[in-house]
C-alpha cells in the first residue's frame, strides 16, 4: 500500500504539471479540447491525492510498521480514533494532509464551475495547479510520507525492515480536540487558496466587474469559518491540555494561524465597499494576495521552526522550499498587478468621515496594523538578526500592548459600523441609532465597576460589549418589528424570518455577537488567580470561594499509558460540590508524560486544577489550581461565530410577500397583475 500511495502521488504530480502547463497553453490557444483536458487533469490530480491520503491512513489502520512514518507516529495500542489524527502528527503527513484538503477545495471548484465562467476558469485552474505542484513537490521529493523503514546493513547498504510495534503518537496529540483542530485550521489555510486563485485570475484575465468577488464570497467565508474554528479549538486544546492555565501565549505557531485570519477578516469587510461603491479594488486584491501569502507563511512557520530555533532554519530543507514558493507567488502577484493595475481603478471616493465606508476603512486599517504588529513580533528574531546582528525576541507584553487597544477599537467599530449609512450619516441618524446603545454601554460599565472589576481595559471592554450587544439587538428588533407588523408572528419568529431573508447581513450580526461573547471571556483574564501547593491526603487549599481537599491519589495502568490520578473534592461554603480528577499519564512507548487537567467550568469562572508533579523531597503531589473568570464565554462565543458564518452561507429565502394591489402599472407583468409593495434584494445594507 505504501508503493501504491507513492505511485499515486507521483501520478498526481504529473497530472498537476500537465494541468499547469497545458492550462497555460489552453489560455493562449483557446482550444476547447485543451481547456477540457487540463480541467480533467486538475480533477484527476485531486482524485490521486485522495487515493494517496487514504493509502497512508490504511497503513496506520493496518499497523504497517515497515513504513517509517507509521513507526514514528503510531503503535498497536493506539486508539482507532487517534490513528486518524496520526496522519498529521508529523511533517510528512501534515504536508500530505495540506495537499488533501486543498484538493477537496480544488475538486469542488473545478466540478462546480465546469460549465460556467469560461473566461475565468482556465486561469483559475492554472493557479490552483501551480499551488498543488508546490505541495506535491514536497510530498514526492522532499518529505515523502511513504518512506520505508530501513537500517544500515552489513555491507553498508540500507536494509528494509519492519518493526513489531511503533513509537506511538505523542501524548499531546492524544486528545479528542487534536483530531478536529488541525483539520479545521488546515481547511482555513488551504481554503484561502480559492479566493486567491480567483482574484489573481480575474486580474490576469482582466475579468470585468466584481464577479470574482461574488464567486468567491462563499469560499472565503468557508475558509474564514474554518480558520476561526481552528484557532479557537487550538486555544481550547492549549487550555485543556498544556496545563499552564492559559489559552493564548503568542507562540509563533499560534501567531501564524492568527495572521491570515486578520487579513481575511479585513477582506470580508472591505469587499462590501467594492460591491457597493466600486471602491478599494487594489486594496481587496492585495488583501487576498496577502492572506494567501500569510497562509503559506503560517504553514512555513509551523513546519520549519524558523522562529523558535533560528539555528535549525539554515539546515532545514523544508524552510528554503517555502521561502522560494513565497517569493514566486509574491513576484507573480506583483507582475500581475503592475501589468493590469488600470483594471483596478476605483469608481468612487470617500464622501464623509462619518459613513459606513470610513468605518470599513478604519476596521481594515486596524486589522492590518494588528497583522503587521503580530508578524513583526513573530519574525523579530529573524529581522533583528538581519538588521543588527543580534537575535532579539519579543514576548507577550509586546503583543498585548498593541493588540489589546486594537481589539477594543475593533469591538467599538463592530457596534458602530453596521449602523452608519453609506456615503454620509446625518447627525440625527447618529443620535437616533446610538443614544440608546451608548446609555446601555455606560450603565453596563458602571454596574461592572460597582461590582469591583476595575481593571481599565477590562472595564472598557465590558462597556463596549454592552454597547455592541445593544446595537445588534436593536438591529434585529427593528427588522423583526417590520415583519411582525405584516405577518402578525412573534418577535422571535419574525427575527428568524428576517435572518433567513438576508442571511449575509444578519448572519454577520450573529458573528459579531459571537465576537462580543469572546471579548467578554478575554476581558475576564485580567482577574485570573492561581495557587500552587504541595498536598498530602486530607490537606486543603483555598482559591476564591472554592476549597480543594485532596482525598487520595492512585496509579492505574491502561492499555497505552499509566495514569497517576488525584482525587480532589471541591467544597463551596463547606458544602461538597463535586470531585475533580487531575491526572498525569506516563506513556510506556516513549516515556513522555501527558497532563490531564480537571476543569469545573461555569459561566462565571473556571476552576482549573493541574497535577503539577511530585515534590522531590516528600514525594507528595503538587497541585496547581487556577481560577479563571469567564473563560467559558470564549468557547461559547466561538460556537456562535461559527453558527453565524453558517447562517451567512445560506442562500437568502425569498420573502413571502404580502402583496397589495398595484395602484400603478407594474413594470413587468406579475402573477394576477399584482406588484409587491416591498422589494427585497440580496445585499448587506
352 versus 421: smaller Cβ distance to another protein: 352
Closest CA to 382 of 305, 318, 324, 326: 305
Give the interface segment with another protein, choosing from 51-59, 102-110, 140-148, 263-271 (CB under 8 A): 140-148
Q: Which of residues 278, 563, 613, 676 is near another protein by CB under 8 A?
A: 613
Identify the helix (H) or strand (E) that includes residue 159: strand 158-160
244 contributes a contact to another protein by CB under 8 A: yes
By CB under 8 A, is residue 173 in contact with another protein?
yes
From 207-215, 285-293, 358-366, 441-449, span contacting another protein (CB under 8 A): 358-366
Q: How many Cβ atoms are within 10 Å of 336's Cβ, its own excluded? A: 19
Single out the residue of 130, 168, 171, 437 in contact with another protein (rule: CB under 8 A). 171
Q: What is the DSSP letter of 154?
A: T
Residue 305's alpha-carbon distances to 226, 314, 382, in angstroms, are 24, 11, 12
For another protein, the closer CB: 40 or 170: 170
How far, in Å, CA of 203 to CA of 206, rounded? 5
Contacts with another protein in 54-83 (CB under 8 A)? 68, 71-73
The residues, any chain, with a CB within 8 Å of residue 170's CB and separated by 6 or more, are 73, 89, 590, 592
Tell me if 548 sits within 8 A of 568, measured CB to CB: yes
Residue 637 sits in the site that holds another protein (CB under 8 A): no
Residue selected from 1, 24, 350, 577 as contacting another protein according to rule CB under 8 A: 350
Looking at 369, 438, 500, 549, which residue binds another protein (CB under 8 A)? Answer: 369
Q: How far from each other are the two terminal CA atoms of the chain, in whole angstroms? A: 55
Q: What is the DSSP string of 191-257?
A: HTHHHHHHHHHHHHHT--TTHHHHHHHHHHHHHHHHHHHHHHHHHHHHHHHS-SS-S----HHHHHH
Q: Can you tell me which of 18, 135, 146, 519 binds another protein, judged by CB under 8 A? A: 146
Neighbour tally for 409: CB within 10 Å: 18
Residue 319 CA to residue 342 CA, distance in Å, equals 36
| Contact residues for 238 (Cβ-Cβ < 8 A; gap 6+) | 244, 246, 247, 248, 249, 254
Contacts of 319 (CB under 8 A, 6+ apart): 300, 304, 306, 313
Candidates 402, 373, 104; CA nearest to 263 is 373
Q: Which of 162, 392, 485, 674 binds another protein (CB under 8 A)?
A: 392
The yes or no reply on residue 180 touching another protein (CB under 8 A) is: no
Does the protein bind another protein through residue 399 (CB under 8 A)? yes
Pick one of 308, 429, 562, 652: the residue that binds another protein (CB under 8 A). Answer: 308
Q: Applying CB under 8 A, which of residues 487, 529, 615, 677 lies at the interface with another protein?
A: 615
# of chain residues touching another protein (CB under 8 A): 87
- With CB under 8 A as the contact rule, the residue among 144, 463, 471, 494 that binds another protein is 144
Nearer to another protein, 470 or 522 (CB): 522
Which position among 243, 407, 418, 637 is part of the footprint of another protein (CB under 8 A)?
243
Name which of 382 and 500 has its Cβ closer to another protein.
Answer: 382
Identify the residue among 76, 147, 214, 431 touching another protein (CB under 8 A): 147
Window contacting another protein (CB under 8 A); options: 25-33, 45-53, 282-290, 364-372:
364-372
DSSP 659: -
User: Taking CB under 8 A as the rule, does residue 569 contact another protein?
Assistant: no
Looking at beta carbons only, is 311 or 663 nearer to another protein? 311
CB of 365 to another protein, least distance (A): 6
Amino acid at each position: 500500500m505504501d508503493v501504491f500511495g507513492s505511485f499515486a502521488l507521483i501520478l498526481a504530480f504529473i497530472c498537476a504539471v500537465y494541468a499547469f502547463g497545458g492550462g497555460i497553453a489552453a489560455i493562449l490557444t483557446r482550444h476547447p479540447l485543451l481547456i477540457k483536458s487540463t480541467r480533467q487533469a486538475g480533477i484527476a490530480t485531486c482524485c490521486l491525492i485522495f487515493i494517496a491520503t487514504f493509502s497512508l491512513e490504511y497503513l496506520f489502520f493496518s499497523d504497517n510498521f515497515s513504513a517509517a512514518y507509521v513507526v514514528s507516529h503510531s503503535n498497536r495500542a493506539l486508539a482507532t480514533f487517534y490513528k486518524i489524527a496520526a496522519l498529521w502528527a508529523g511533517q510528512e503527513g501534515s504536508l500530505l494532509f495540506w495537499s488533501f484538503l486543498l484538493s477537496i477545495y480544488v475538486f469542488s471548484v473545478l466540478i462546480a464551475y465546469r460549465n460556467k465562467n469560461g473566461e475565468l476558469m482556465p486561469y483559475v485552474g492554472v493557479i490552483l495547479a501551480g499551488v498543488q505542484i508546490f505541495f506535491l513537490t514536497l510530498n514526492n521529493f522532499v518529505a515523502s510520507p511513504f518512506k520505508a523503514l530501513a537500517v544500515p546493513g552489513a555491507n553498508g547498504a540500507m536494509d528494509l525492515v519492519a518493526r513489531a510495534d511503533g513509537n506511538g503518537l505523542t501524548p499531546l496529540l492524544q486528545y479528542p480536540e487534536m483530531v478536529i483542530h488541525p483539520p479545521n485550521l488546515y481547511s482555513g489555510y488551504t481554503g484561502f487558496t480559492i479566493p486567491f486563485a480567483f482574484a489573481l485570475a480575474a486580474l490576469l484575465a482582466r475579468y470585468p466587474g466584481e464577479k470574482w468577488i461574488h464567486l468567491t464570497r462563499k469560499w472565503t467565508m468557508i475558509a474564514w469559518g474554518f480558520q476561526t474554528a481552528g484557532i479557537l479549538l487550538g486555544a481550547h486544546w492549549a487550555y485543556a491540555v498544556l496545563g499552564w492555565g492559559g489559552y493564548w501565549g503568542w507562540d509563533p505557531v499560534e501567531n501564524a494561524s492568527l495572521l491570515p485570519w486578520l487579513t481575511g477578516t479585513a477582506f470580508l469587510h472591505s469587499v462590501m465597499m467594492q460591491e457597493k461603491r466600486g471602491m478599494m479594488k487594489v486594496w481587496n486584491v492585495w488583501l487576498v494576495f496577502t492572506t494567501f501569502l500569510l497562509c503559506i507563511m503560517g504553514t512555513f512557520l509551523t513546519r520549519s521552526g524558523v522562529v523558535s530555533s533560528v539555528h535549525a532554519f539554515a539546515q532545514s530543507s523544508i524552510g528554503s522550499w517555502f521561502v522560494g514558493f513565497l517569493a514566486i507567488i509574491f513576484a507573480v502577484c506583483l507582475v500581475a498587478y503592475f501589468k493590469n493595475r488600470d483594471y483596478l481603478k476605483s469608481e468612487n471616493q470617500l464622501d464623509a468621515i462619518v459613513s459606513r465606508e470610513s468605518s470599513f476603512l478604519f476596521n481594515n486599517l486596524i486589522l492590518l496594523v494588528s497583522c503587521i504588529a503580530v508578524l513583526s513580533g513573530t519574525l523579530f528574531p529573524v529581522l533583528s538578526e538581519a538588521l543588527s546582528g543580534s537575535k532579539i525576541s519579543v514576548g507577550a507584553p509586546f503583543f498585548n500592548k498593541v493588540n489589546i487597544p486594537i481589539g477594543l477599537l475593533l469591538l467599538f467599530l463592530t457596534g458602530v459600523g453596521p449602523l452608519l449609512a453609506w456615503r454620509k450619516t446625518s447627525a440625527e441618524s447618529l443620535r437616533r441609532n446610538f443614544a440608546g446603545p451608548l446609555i446601555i454601554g455606560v450603565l453596563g460599565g458602571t454596574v461592572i465597576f460597582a461590582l469591583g472589576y476595575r481593571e481599565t481595559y477590562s472595564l472598557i471592554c465590558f462597556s463596549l460589549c454592552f454597547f455592541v450587544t445593544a446595537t445588534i439587538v436593536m438591529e434585529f428588533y427593528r427588522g423583526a418589528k417590520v415583519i411582525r407588523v405584516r405577518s402578525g408572528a412573534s418577535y422571535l419568529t419574525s427575527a428568524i424570518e428576517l435572518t433567513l431573508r438576508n442571511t449575509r447581513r444578519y448572519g454577520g450580526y450573529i458573528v459579531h455577537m459571537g465576537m462580543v461573547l469572546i471579548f467578554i471571556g478575554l476581558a475576564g483574564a485580567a482577574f485570573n488567580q492561581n495557587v500552587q501547593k504541595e498536598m498530602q491526603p486530607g490537606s486543603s487549599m483555598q482559591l476564591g470561594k472554592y476549597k480543594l481537599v485532596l482525598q487520595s491519589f492512585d496509579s492505574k495502568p491502561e492499555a497505552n499509558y499509566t495514569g497517576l490520578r488525584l482525587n480532589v473534592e471541591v467544597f463551596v461554603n463547606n458544602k461538597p460540590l463535586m470531585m475533580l480528577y487531575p491526572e498525569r499519564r506516563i506513556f510506556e512507548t516513549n516515556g513522555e508524560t501527558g497532563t490531564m487537567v480537571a476543569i469545573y467550568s461555569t459561566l462565571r469562572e473556571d476552576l482549573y486544577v493541574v497535577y503539577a508533579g511530585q515534590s522531590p523531597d516528600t514525594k507528595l503531589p503538587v497541585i496547581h489550581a487556577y481560577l479563571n473568570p469567564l473563560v467559558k464565554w470564549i468557547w461559547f462565543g466561538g460556537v456562535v461565530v461559527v453558527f453565524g458564518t453558517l447562517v451567512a452561507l445560506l442562500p437568502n429565502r425569498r420573502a413571502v410577500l404580502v402583496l397589495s394591489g398595484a395602484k400603478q402599472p407594474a413594470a413587468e407583468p406579475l402573477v394576477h397583475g399584482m406588484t409587491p409593495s416591498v422589494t427585497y434584494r440580496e445585499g448587506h445594507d
